[in-house]
Amino acid sequence: MSYHDIITIEPDKRGGKPCIRRMRITVYDVLGWLAAGMSHEDILDDFPELTEEDIRASLEFAADREHRLVASLQDSKRTVGGV
């Protein structure tokens, strides 16, 4: 399953931030918990409505977004620099 099937964006929910399966838990919540040192097991214990697949989808979403951002910046440099 792709993160596209799990991550939802609704303008009227959590300010349009990407959420997990239409819940009010955002990708950024999950990433923040991981960055703070919580394990996948800790997160799943604290938030039983989440699944391991939800956590992986959050990571995949963030990686894809980063990849697209870097590619966009590289394209901009080529256009501006005339390369």
Q: How many CB atoms lie within 10 A of CB 14?
A: 16
Full-model pTM:
0.80
CATH fold label, 3-81: Arc Repressor Mutant, subunit A (1.10.10)
For range 53-61, the mean pLDDT: 97
| 34 φ/ψ angles, rounded to the nearest 5 degrees | -65, -45
Q: Which two tokens stand for residue 69?
A: 């951002």
* Whether pLDDT at 1 is above 90: no
pLDDT in tens, 26-50: 999 999 999 999 999 999 999 999 9
CA separation for the pair 6, 56 (Å, rounded): 10
CA separation for the pair 20, 11 (Å, rounded): 14
* Cα torsion 10, 12, 17, 19: sign: negative
